[in-house]
Structure 1
Amino acid sequence: GDYSTGAAQVILPYVAGAMEVYEQQTSWPLVLEHSDTIVIWGSDPIKNLQVGWLVPDHSVYGYWQQLAEKVKNKEIKVIHVDPVRNETMKFVGGEQVAVNPQTDIPLMLAIAHTLYSENLYNKEFIADYTTGFDKFMPYVLGKTDGVEKTPEWAAKITGIPADDIRALARQMASGRTQLIGGWCLQRMQHGEQWAWMLVVIAAMLGQIGLPGGGFGFGWHYNDAGTITSAGPLMSGFSGVTGVEPIFNGSYKGYAKAIPVARFVDCIANPGKKIQWNGHDITYPYMKMAIFSGNNPFHHHQDRNKMIKAWTNLETVVSVEHQWTATCRFADIVLPATTTYERDDIEQFGNHSNKGIVALRKIVEPMFESKDDFDIFRDLCRRFNREEAFTGGKEKMEWVEEIYNGARLQGRGLGVRMPNFAKFWAGDGFIEFPAGKEWVRHESFRNEPDLEPLGTASGLIEIYCKTIADMGYDDCQGHPMWFEKAERSHGGPLSDKFPLHLQSCHPNHRLHSQLCSSTDFRATYTVADREPVYISTKDAAARGIKSGDLVRVFNDRGQVLAGAVVTDDYSAGVCRIHEGAWYSPLDGGKAGTICTYGDPNVLTLDIGTSKLAQATSAHTALVDIEKYTGPVPAVTGFGGPIYVTDIDPLFPAMDKA
Structure 2
Amino acid sequence: MKNTNKRSVTTKSVDSVDSSRRSALRTIGLFSTVPFIGGAWIGCGDSSSTTTDVQNITNFSTDLVLDGDVYTAAHWGALKVSVKGGKIVKSQNAFSGLEENPLQAVTADLVDGKYTNRIKAPMVRKSYLEKQAGNNALRGADEWVEVSYEEAIKIVSDEIKRVRSSKGPTAIYGGSYGWKSSGNMHNARTLLHRFLNLGGGFVGGLGDYSTGAAQVIMPHVLGTLEVYEQQTSWPLVLEHSKVVVIWGANPVDTLRIAWSSNDNQGLEYLKKLRDSGKKIICIDPAKSSTVQYFDSKAEHIRVVPNTDVALMLGIIHTMLVTNKYDKDFIADYTEGFEKFQKYVEGKTDGVVKDAKWASDICGVSEEKIKELAEVFFENRTMIMGGWNMQRQHHGEQAHWMLVVLSSMIGQIGLPGGGFGFSYHYSNGGAPTTNAPVVGGISIGKVSSGGAEWLSDGSAVSIPVARVTDMLANPGKTIKYNGKTIKYPEIDLVYWAGGNPFVHHQDTNALLSAWRKPTTIIVHDMYWTPTAKMADIVFPITTPYERNDITMSGDYSNMNINPMKQVVAPLEKAKSDYQVFSDLAEACGFGEQYTEGKAEMDWIEEFYNAAYQNAQKAGVVMADGNPMPDFQTFWSANRPLVFDATPEGLDFVRYADFREDPILNPLGTPSGRIEIYSEVIEKMNYKDCKAFPQWFEPAEWKGMKDKPAEFALLSPHPSLRLHSQLANTRLRDEYAVANREPIWINPADAKAKDIQNGDLVRVFNKRGQILAGAVVSDIVDEGVVRIYEGAWYDPSDASEANTLCKNGSANVLTMDIPTSELANGNSACTALVNIEKYTGTPPENTAFLPPKGA
Q: Would you say same fold, with TM above 0.5?
A: yes
Alignment partner for residue 461 of structure 1, among 652, 674, 679? 674
1:555 paired with 2:765, answer: yes
What is the DSSP-based 3-state SS (H/G/I as helix, E as strand, rest coil) of the residue aligned with 2:485?
Answer: strand
Are the counterparts in 1 of residues 559 and 640 from structure 2 also a CA contact under 8 Å? yes
Are the counterparts in 1 of residues 560 and 639 from structure 2 also a CA contact under 8 Å? yes
- Aligned 1:163-562 pairs, distance under 5 A: 163-241=367-445, 243=447, 255-415=459-619, 416-436=626-646, 437=649, 438-488=651-701, 490-494=702-706, 496-517=707-728, 519-562=729-772
Distance in 1 between residues matched to 2:587 and 2:312, nearest whole Å: 53
Query: Are the structure 2 counterparts of residues 254 and 246 from structure 1 closer, same or farther at C-alpha, using a change threshold of 3 Å?
Result: farther
Counterpart code for 2:709: P
Counterpart code for 1:299: H
Query: Are the structure 2 counterparts of residues 516 and 432 from structure 1 closer, same or farther at C-alpha, using a change threshold of 3 Å?
Result: closer
What is the DSSP-based 3-state SS (H/G/I as helix, E as strand, rest coil) of the residue aligned with 1:284?
Answer: coil
What is the DSSP-based 3-state SS (H/G/I as helix, E as strand, rest coil) of the residue aligned with 1:275?
Answer: strand
Are the counterparts in 1 of residues 314 and 355 from structure 2 also a CA contact under 8 Å? yes
1:578 paired with 2:788, answer: yes
Are the counterparts in 1 of residues 719 and 730 from structure 2 also a CA contact under 8 Å? no
- Aligned 1:114-125 pairs, distance under 5 A: 114-125=318-329
Which residue of 2 is the match for residue 143 of structure 1? 347
Distance in 2 between residues matched to 1:294 and 1:281, nearest whole Å: 24
The C-alpha deviation readout for 1:209-262, integer Å capped at 9, x for no partner, is 11111011111111222222122222223334253576699xxx9952000000
Are the counterparts in 1 of residues 263 and 559 from structure 2 also a CA contact under 8 Å? no
Distance in 2 between residues matched to 1:323 and 1:287, nearest whole Å: 23
Counterpart code for 2:224: A
What is the DSSP-based 3-state SS (H/G/I as helix, E as strand, rest coil) of the residue aligned with 2:730?
Answer: helix
Superposed displacement of residue 447, structure 1: 2.7
Are the counterparts in 1 of residues 499 and 530 from structure 2 also a CA contact under 8 Å? yes
Are the counterparts in 2 of residues 486 and 492 from structure 1 also a CA contact under 8 Å? no
- RMSD over aligned CA atoms reads 2.0
Are the counterparts in 1 of residues 244 and 384 from structure 2 also a CA contact under 8 Å? yes
Which deviates more, 102-111 or 325-334?
102-111
Superposed displacement of residue 457, structure 1: 1.8
The C-alpha deviation readout for 1:284-314, integer Å capped at 9, x for no partner, is 0011101101010010011111111122111
Are the counterparts in 2 of residues 484 and 492 from structure 1 also a CA contact under 8 Å? no
Superposed displacement of residue 388, structure 1: 4.1
TM-score calculated relative to the size of structure 1? 0.93
What is the DSSP-based 3-state SS (H/G/I as helix, E as strand, rest coil) of the residue aligned with 1:511?
Answer: coil
Are the counterparts in 2 of residues 209 and 442 from structure 1 also a CA contact under 8 Å? yes
What is the DSSP-based 3-state SS (H/G/I as helix, E as strand, rest coil) of the residue aligned with 1:80?
Answer: strand
Distance in 1 between residues matched to 2:838 and 2:677, nearest whole Å: 54
TM-score calculated relative to the size of structure 2? 0.72
Which deviates more, 52-61 or 2-11?
52-61
Superposed displacement of residue 193, structure 1: 0.4
Q: Mark the runs of 5 or more structure 1 residues left unpaired by the alignment.
A: 644-656
1:89 paired with 2:291, answer: yes
Which residue of 2 is the match for residue 28 of structure 1? 234
Counterpart code for 1:271: G
Query: Are the structure 2 counterparts of residues 569 and 366 from structure 1 closer, same or farther at C-alpha, using a change threshold of 3 Å?
Result: same
Runs of 4+ in 1 over 4 A off after TM superposition: 244-249
Distance in 2 between residues matched to 1:188 and 1:167, nearest whole Å: 27
What is the DSSP-based 3-state SS (H/G/I as helix, E as strand, rest coil) of the residue aligned with 1:265?
Answer: helix
Distance in 1 between residues matched to 2:617 and 2:408, nearest whole Å: 38
Which deviates more, 379-388 or 270-279?
379-388
Are the counterparts in 2 of residues 254 and 283 from structure 1 also a CA contact under 8 Å? no
Query: Are the structure 2 counterparts of residues 126 and 240 from structure 1 closer, same or farther at C-alpha, using a change threshold of 3 Å?
Result: farther
Counterpart code for 2:713: Q
Alignment partner for residue 69 of structure 1, among 275, 280, 284? 275
Query: Are the structure 2 counterparts of residues 242 and 559 from structure 1 closer, same or farther at C-alpha, using a change threshold of 3 Å?
Result: closer
Are the counterparts in 2 of residues 487 and 493 from structure 1 also a CA contact under 8 Å? no
Counterpart code for 1:362: V
How many residues align structurally?
634
Are the counterparts in 2 of residues 255 and 283 from structure 1 also a CA contact under 8 Å? no
Which residue of 1 is the match for residue 810 of structure 2? 600
Distance in 2 between residues matched to 1:37 and 1:629, nearest whole Å: 51
Counterpart code for 1:569: V
Are the counterparts in 1 of residues 769 and 805 from structure 2 also a CA contact under 8 Å? yes
Query: Are the structure 2 counterparts of residues 450 and 7 from structure 1 closer, same or farther at C-alpha, using a change threshold of 3 Å?
Result: same
Distance in 1 between residues matched to 2:705 and 2:471, nearest whole Å: 28
Which residue of 1 is the match for residue 622 of structure 2? none
Distance in 2 between residues matched to 1:102 and 1:245, nearest whole Å: 48
Are the counterparts in 2 of residues 578 and 600 from structure 1 also a CA contact under 8 Å? yes
Superposed displacement of residue 23, structure 1: 1.8
What is the DSSP-based 3-state SS (H/G/I as helix, E as strand, rest coil) of the residue aligned with 2:397?
Answer: helix
Which residue of 2 is the match for residue 103 of structure 1? 307
Alignment partner for residue 265 of structure 2, among 51, 59, 62? 59
Are the counterparts in 2 of residues 581 and 636 from structure 1 also a CA contact under 8 Å? yes
Identity %: 48
Are the counterparts in 2 of residues 254 and 282 from structure 1 also a CA contact under 8 Å? no
Structure possessing the higher relative contact order (Cα contacts under 8 Å, 6 or more residues apart): 2
Superposed displacement of residue 57, structure 1: 2.8
Alignment partner for residue 6 of structure 1, among 212, 228, 253? 212
Counterpart code for 2:408: M
Which residue of 2 is the match for residue 651 of structure 1? none
Distance in 2 between residues matched to 1:223 and 1:339, nearest whole Å: 23
Alignment partner for residue 616 of structure 1, among 803, 826, 831? 826
Superposed displacement of residue 448, structure 1: 1.9
Superposed displacement of residue 165, structure 1: 1.0
Counterpart code for 1:292: A
Superposed displacement of residue 641, structure 1: 3.9
